[in-house]
């Protein structure tokens, strides 16, 4: 299945809902061919750290556009006929699959570092390689571990009383979108009845991850359904009394691929940057923001490791149960699923009922 221009544009639009046109202020020219142009999903601090270390080690000037995956995809689509980017870093494997299916990527097969990484995270043909990953589970206030506070997905979506809960909007959070697609594909049509029940019994939809986490920190919410774990670990590292919970039926693994654009005039520089991202220094920067590094020999952050010892999360060698994803099916169904979720769940008028 090949994703045509219209489908890719629709996907980019869904991922970038509510965002100012990503290409505004850009004249479409790429400038000098001795400059590497990189479009990267956040966190911005990680993108900047990797670019800085790459420039220091290789002496290559880099232009960086750091934004959300939706903004990056929208900008790539806006610049389709006057491309600027050489390398793209995304926070969604499905987005990378969409670019590959649209014939927008240049393969980099069999790099020397491949066997030091989690090879199952990469495209088998080398069109993209995942630098890191996060898990989408749940997050709760406090440090308790009662069974009631550690529900499975079906329990929270069934409207059982687990406090006031929120879900980051899949139209604003790529990770929440990946989770909704994965869960819906696994559960089928019954998932939609559960989403409606959850909304009727109090589940709120936050504008984005930042709003969901902010509400959790001030006590507006008791928990986040569809929480991106590395963002919660960052709050824990700052002293917040929160905990991450990975449901027994599986969490969504959100991989973060790096890829070279087919239109790059500097493919050798682009390959050097990809190589750098899998080097020890860049992978340590990945771990420092509490993401799971692609390299198995790079330890996770102390906060993530502490969650492991408490029985709450993965270490650098193992993962909790995952929701199995067929990426071909996910790519085919993502636009329809996210569009339906926006219309029927996120933006629907909700009539609340008592628990």
Domain presence at residue 312: no
d(CA 253, CA 321): 10
Residues 160 and 222 in one domain: yes
Domain presence at residue 351: no
Residues 62 and 175 in one domain: no
For 200-232, what is each residue's pLDDT tens digit?
Answer: 999 999 988 999 999 999 999 999 999 999 999
Residues 140 and 128 in one domain: no
Domain count, the chain: 2
d(CA 205, CA 207): 7
pLDDT-derived band of residue 350, with 50, 70 and 90 as boundaries? Answer: low
Name the nearest CA neighbour of 246 among 178, 184, 319. Answer: 319
Domain presence at residue 158: yes
Structure tokens at 352: 């609340």
d(CA 135, CA 117): 18
Name the nearest CA neighbour of 133 among 257, 231, 303. Answer: 257
Residues 280 and 332 in one domain: no
Chain Cα centroid distance, residue 96 = 11
Give residue 260's region: left, alpha or beta (phi > 0; psi -120 to 50).
Answer: beta
Residues 24 and 128 in one domain: yes
d(CA 181, CA 196): 16
Chain Cα centroid distance, residue 173 = 8
Residue 156: give its domain's CATH number: 3.40.190.10
What residues does 245 pair with on adjacent strands?
138
Domain residue limits at 260:
5-133+255-298
Which residues touch 313 (CB under 8 Å, ≥6 apart)? 135, 229, 244, 246, 304, 307, 320
d(CA 217, CA 223): 10
Residues 17 and 126 in one domain: yes
For 2-53, what is each residue's pLDDT tens digit?
Answer: 555 545 655 555 554 433 333 333 445 555 678 999 999 989 999 999 999 9
As a whole number, mean pLDDT of residues 283-289 equals: 97
For 245-280, what is each residue's pLDDT tens digit?
Answer: 999 999 999 999 999 999 999 999 999 999 999 999
């Amino acid at each position: 299945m090949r994703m045509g221009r219209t489908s890719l544009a629709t996907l980019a639009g869904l991922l970038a809902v509510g965002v100012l046109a990503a290409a505004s202020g850009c004249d479409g020219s790429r400038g000098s061919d001795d400059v590497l142009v990189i479009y990267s999903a956040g966190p911005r601090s990680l993108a900047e750290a990797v670019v800085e270390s790459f420039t220091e080690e290789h002496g290559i000037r880099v232009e960086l556009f750091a934004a959300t995956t939706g903004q990056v995809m929208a900008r790539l689509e806006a610049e389709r006929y006057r491309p600027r980017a050489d390398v793209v870093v995304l926070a969604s494997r499905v987005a990378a699959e969409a670019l590959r299916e649209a014939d927008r990527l240049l393969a980099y097969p069999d790099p020397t570092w491949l066997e030091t990484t989690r090879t199952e995270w990469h495209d088998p043909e080398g069109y993209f390689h995942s630098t890191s990953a996060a898990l989408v589970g749940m997050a709760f206030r406090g440090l308790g571990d009662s069974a009631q506070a550690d529900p499975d997905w079906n329990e929270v979506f069934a409207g059982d009383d687990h406090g006031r809960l929120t879900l980051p909007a899949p139209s604003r959070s790529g990770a929440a979108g990946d989770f909704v697609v994965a869960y819906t594909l696994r559960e089928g049509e019954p998932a939609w009845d559960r989403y409606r029940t959850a909304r009727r019994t109090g589940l709120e939809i936050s504008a984005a991850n930042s709003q969901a986490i902010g509400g959790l920190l001030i006590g507006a919410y008791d928990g986040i359904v569809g929480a991106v774990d590395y963002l919660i670990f960052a709050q824990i590292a700052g002293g917040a009394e929160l905990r991450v919970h990975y449901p027994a039926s599986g969490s969504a693994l959100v991989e973060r691929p790096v890829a070279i654009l087919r239109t790059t005039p500097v493919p050798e520089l682009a390959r050097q940057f990809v190589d750098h991202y899998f080097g020890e220094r860049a992978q340590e920067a990945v771990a420092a923001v509490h993401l799971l590094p692609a390299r198995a020999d790079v330890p996770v952050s102390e906060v993530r490791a502490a969650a492991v010892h408490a029985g709450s999360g993965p270490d650098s060698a193992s993962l909790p149960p995952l929701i199995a994803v067929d990426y071909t099916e996910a790519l085919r169904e993502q636009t329809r699923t996210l569009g339906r979720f926006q219309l029927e769940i996120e933006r629907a008028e909700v009539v609340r009922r008592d628990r």
